[in-house]
C-alpha cells in the first residue's frame, strides 16, 4: 500500500490517513511489547531448538530435490533390507475366512468385498440374470467397468507397469489367479 503524499491530500483524507497510522502504530507497539516481555522473561527458551529443526528441514529439502542425490527413488526397489524382493501384486495365497476359497493376497480385498456382499458392485448382485448381465458388461468394456479399481491398484506400483495386466484379469470375470 503506497504511502499517501501529505501535501496533496484534503484535510479529510489527511485525518483518516492519520487515524490509520495511529491504529497501525498501536498494533505494532502491542506486538513489540508482547514479544519484549516474552524474550526478556525467558518465556521463549526453545527458540534455538526450533530454529535448528527448521534448518535441518530446509537442508533436507535441498538435498532431496537435487537429482544427483537420489540413492532412494520413489520407483522401483531392487531388494528390501532383508534382501527380499516382492512382486507388485502380493502372491501369498491363503484361505478366505468368509468363504474358504484360496485367494491371492493382492486380490483379497476385491474378493472379500464381493464375498461379504459389500461395496457398490456386489450390492447389485441379487439374481443369476443380473450377475450374468454384469459379466457380459465387464467383458465388453473392461476399462469403464473397472476403471476405479484399476486406478487404485495401478497407483500402488505405477512404475512396474502391471496396470494393463490387472485389467485383463478382471475382464475375464474371475478374480483369482490359477
Partner 1 sequence: MATRNSVFANPKPCEHLADYKLRHGLSGYKSIQKWLKASPYGKTGIKMCETKIPTCRFRSGFHQGRLFLCLICSSMSCSDHTLLHAQSENGHDIAVDIERSELYCCLCSDQVYDPDFDKVVVSKNIMDMPSKTHDSVVDDLMRRSSKRRRLNPVVDLDLKRSKLLVSMMDRRAKSCYPLGLRGLNNLGSTCFMNSVLQALLHAPPFRNYFLSERHDPETCKKRSSDQLCLACDFGVIFSAVYSGDRTPYSPAQFLYSWWQHSANLASYEQQDAHEFFISVLDGIHEREGKGRNSNKDNGGCQCIAHRVFSGMLRSDVTCTTCGFTSTTYDPCVDISLNMDTTNFSSVTVANKSVREDTGRSTLLACLDLFTRPERLGSDQKLYCQNCQEKRDSLKQMSIKRLPLVLSLHIKRFEHSSLRRSSRKIDWYLQFPFSLDMTPYLSPSIVRNRFGNRVFGFESDKPDISSEFEIFAVVTHSGMLDSGHYVTYLRLQNQWYKCDDAWITEVDERIVRAAQCYMIFYVQKMLYCKANEDWSCTPISTRRDPFVPIAGCC
Q: Residue 129 or residue 164: which is nearer to partner 1 going by CB?
A: 164
Smallest separation (angstroms) from partner 1 to the CB of 143: 15
How many C-beta neighbours within 10 Å does residue 114 have?
15
DSSP state, 62? H
Q: Hey, which residues does 94 pair with through a beta bridge? A: 103
Q: Residue 110 or residue 142: which is nearer to partner 1 going by CB?
A: 110
How many C-beta neighbours within 10 Å does residue 4 have?
13
Smallest separation (angstroms) from partner 1 to the CB of 152: 4
Query: What is the secondary structure of 38-52 as a DSSP string?
Result: HHHTTTTTTHHHHHH
Smallest separation (angstroms) from partner 1 to the CB of 156: 6
Cβ atoms of residues 17 and 4 within 8 Å: yes
Among 110, 120, 116, smallest CA distance to 97 is for 116
Q: Residue 75 or residue 178: which is nearer to partner 1 going by CB?
A: 75
Q: Residue 114 or residue 135: which is nearer to partner 1 going by CB?
A: 114
The residue to which cell 484379469 is assigned = 169
Smallest separation (angstroms) from partner 1 to the CB of 102: 9
Amino acid at each position: 500500500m503506497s504511502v499517501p503524499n501529505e501535501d496533496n491530500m484534503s484535510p479529510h483524507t489527511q485525518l483518516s490517513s492519520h487515524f490509520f497510522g495511529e491504529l497501525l502504530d498501536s498494533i505494532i507497539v502491542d506486538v513489540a511489547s508482547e514479544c519484549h516481555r516474552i524474550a526478556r522473561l525467558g518465556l521463549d527458551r526453545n527458540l534455538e531448538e526450533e530454529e535448528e529443526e527448521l534448518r535441518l528441514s530446509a537442508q533436507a529439502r535441498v538435498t532431496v530435490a537435487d537429482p544427483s542425490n537420489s540413492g532412494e527413488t520413489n520407483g522401483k526397489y531392487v531388494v528390501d533390507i532383508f534382501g527380499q524382493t516382492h512382486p507388485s501384486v502380493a502372491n501369498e495365497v491363503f484361505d478366505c475366512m468368509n468363504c474358504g476359497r484360496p485367494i491371492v493376497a493382492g486380490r483379497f480385498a476385491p474378493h472379500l468385498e464381493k464375498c461379504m456382499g459389500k461395496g457398490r458392485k456386489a450390492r447389485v448382485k441379487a439374481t443369476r440374470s443380473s450377475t450374468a448381465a454384469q459379466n457380459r458388461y465387464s467383458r465388453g468394456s473392461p476399462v469403464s467397468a473397472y476403471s476405479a479399481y484399476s486406478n487404485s491398484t495401478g497407483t500402488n506400483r505405477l512404475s512396474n507397469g502391471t496396470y494393463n495386466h490387472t485389467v485383463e484379469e478382471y475382464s475375464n470375470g474371475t478374480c483369482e489367479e490359477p
